[in-house]
Chains A and B, each alone.
Chain A
């Protein structure tokens, strides 16, 4: 046989093989969009595992079909930026089948027509969804229907560095009594700033309180102590009260003047804040959430609950006035299916598999988020390795969710800018309140109700 014939034969054979292989392995591709988050790699990872599980079942059933999970993990700075990018991607038909989102964006995606109504699917599959903690469903509901599946939840708090408190002269008894005082309303937000300011002025620490450097759920919890409630249930609109905002910003200014809050907080990078709070112990208080326990344990080489609690104290966000109630916030992340997907049911079932107790527990325990299933809370691993989650659960008593209004993202952004304005010294408390009200009516127009 001459060369040409051999070549033709090889090519034909190869093409036959390829077409046979592709005929055999009909891959269904499910695209997943997730934000690359160091505190949650398994959010996307569990979906990949779910795909593998499904493939095992398909193989066992003798089917030739396989599911391929195609991950796109973006580098957005926060969930808000990521949601905007995702909306843009959807608008140009580059949207995924499954996406991971912060729950308060549910409304925005539903209004844009990109989130699939999952009521039917959830209702028909109690075997998968029946054990999910009931209040969590509220976080993925919009106008009475469920559009997502909660992926995790957490508790947010202030982390106080006990070593620094001791240096300040507090006894162990004082420190242990603090959480109780906060819950009883005796230790207010102003007292916290006094304490933090004292620590800075005495040179014990460089930063009093460190908070997140971008917009986020934390601030809602902070503002609630001062009566700023973002959502008006009756009107089904966002709202802002001028007086409450002024109270809140007055407190921020007070803390800034006492040096409890620092002017550079809003422009620091996440990394700088972590370095300052953990490795270098330059801050008295970090305001964030329970999943930080992982980082803290690693940074200080803490072994177990007792070691940790000797080093760190948790408190809820203290009330604004004496006798008030402390506040807390829970911010679930959710899975959602794209309404434009060509494989809606398959995508939904992938999510169902990813939400099972074992995968969910893996995420919960390794990154210190609370499990979404009732059963998950009593799993041996959770009880043993997730002591932080168990310890944090009582704080959920004061917790609320953010509203799922479509424009909550912009609302949060404006609040953050106001805080930045006060902290950097550009705005007085009154000016900040005016600024927020201005921007809200500017950007949200009729979607916000401004109260006096």
Chain B
């Protein structure tokens, strides 16, 4: 016995009441659950991106006034900007090294080692390695500055001078790239370590026992039991961290300010410096547009490479 069709004769078909109710609930749920996130992201993320896109084609300078629409920013990038390629090169070295050495590899190593030692000891060392990420960036940068201080006061130089009996070294001036790779690496390793640790812990115990009974040594267990289970975390971390490294420059800004000269100015910092050191906001917007394109391309490429589509499981049951 179907219910009487709902009012509103200009509907193509008559929907029974309960279906209408469910549709309404569906829409309300959508608005209620996803609405806030969509609004927040739209206003403070998507809209600024669009504004940034538009800005790149204007001549906005330090007075924040738009004079005209022009392509001169891009023309300048291609013809007159001699720092650009250098910045790209530095970015590449920085991202690849930090990612390869610290954010993924070392994180994996830490996760493996801290789960191999007794529980509380492992937890302690994980806590230590989370400390850089948990402490405020200003404090962390300050500590780095004090550690690599070129005078004898610096912690590093204390060790170099008193233990190794060498003259004090000036890492900040002579090897600034090393300093920022280390500084960002310490921070980057911690997130991966966390994710990998929880993934390792969720591997069922019996797999390990079975492997041992079959005669596998520790290394073999790692290779055949642990690592396959970490495939998704590793892929996700690689994408996530490479994008993060491409885009963030907070620590670099605080520790070396992109210097000395332009030695540690990665591309994102380069755009920031152009915009804020000289008030050339439109040019900075154009530069960040290029960075966005690079980032999106890299993200999509890595996504394909790591077959992340399988990661997104379809949801369970659709009932509102």
Identify the A interface with B (CB < 8 A): 84, 87-88, 90-92, 108, 112-113, 263-264, 266-267, 410, 413, 417, 420-421, 424, 426-427, 435, 438, 441-443
Contact = CB atoms under 8 A, between A and B. Distances in A.
B260 A438 contact: no
B62 A87 contact: yes
A410 B259 CA distance: 18
Interface of B: 62-65, 76, 80-82, 150, 170, 172-173, 259-263, 276-280
10 smallest A-B Cβ distances: which pairs? A91-B64, A424-B260, A112-B63, A426-B261, A421-B261, A442-B80, A87-B62, A410-B278, A438-B82, A84-B279
A88 B173 contact: no
Given A420-B261, A424-B260, A426-B263, A263 B173 contact: yes
Contact of A427 (B76, B82, B261, B276): B261
Contacts of B276: 84
A209 to B, nearest CB: 18
B64 A88 contact: yes
B63 A87 contact: yes
A443 B64 contact: no
24 contacts: A84-B62, A87-B63, A87-B64, A87-B279, A88-B64, A91-B63, A91-B64, A91-B65, A108-B62, A112-B63, A112-B65, A264-B173, A266-B259, A267-B173, A267-B260, A417-B261, A424-B173, A424-B260, A426-B262, A426-B263, A427-B261, A442-B76, A442-B81, A443-B280
Nearest to B170: A264
Contact of B260 (A90, A413, A420, A443): A420
A263 B172 CA distance: 11
Contacts of A443: 278, 280
Binding site of A, secondary structure by majority: helix, strand, loop or mixed?
Answer: helix
Given A264-B170, A443-B278, 19 more contacts: A84-B62, A84-B279, A90-B63, A91-B63, A92-B64, A112-B62, A113-B63, A263-B173, A267-B173, A413-B278, A424-B259, A426-B260, A426-B261, A426-B263, A435-B82, A441-B80, A442-B76, A442-B80, A442-B81
A264 B259 CA distance: 11
Contacts of A263: 170, 173
A413 B261 CA distance: 12
Contacts of B63: 87, 90-91, 112-113
Contacts of B65: 91, 112
Contacts of A442: 76, 80-82
B155 to A, nearest CB: 17
Nearest to A90: B63
Contact of A267 (B82, B172, B280): B172
A250 B81 CA distance: 24
Q: Which of A410, A413, A442 has the most CB of B within 10 A?
A: A442
Contact of B277 (A413, A424, A426, A435): A413
B259 A267 contact: yes
A249 to B, nearest CB: 13
Contacts of A91: 63-65
A452 B173 CA distance: 33
A92 B64 CA distance: 8
A264 B173 CA distance: 7
Nearest to B260: A424
Contacts of A421: 261
B230 to A, nearest CB: 42
A69 B150 CA distance: 45
A447 to B, nearest CB: 11
Nearest to B151: A272
A266 B259 CA distance: 10
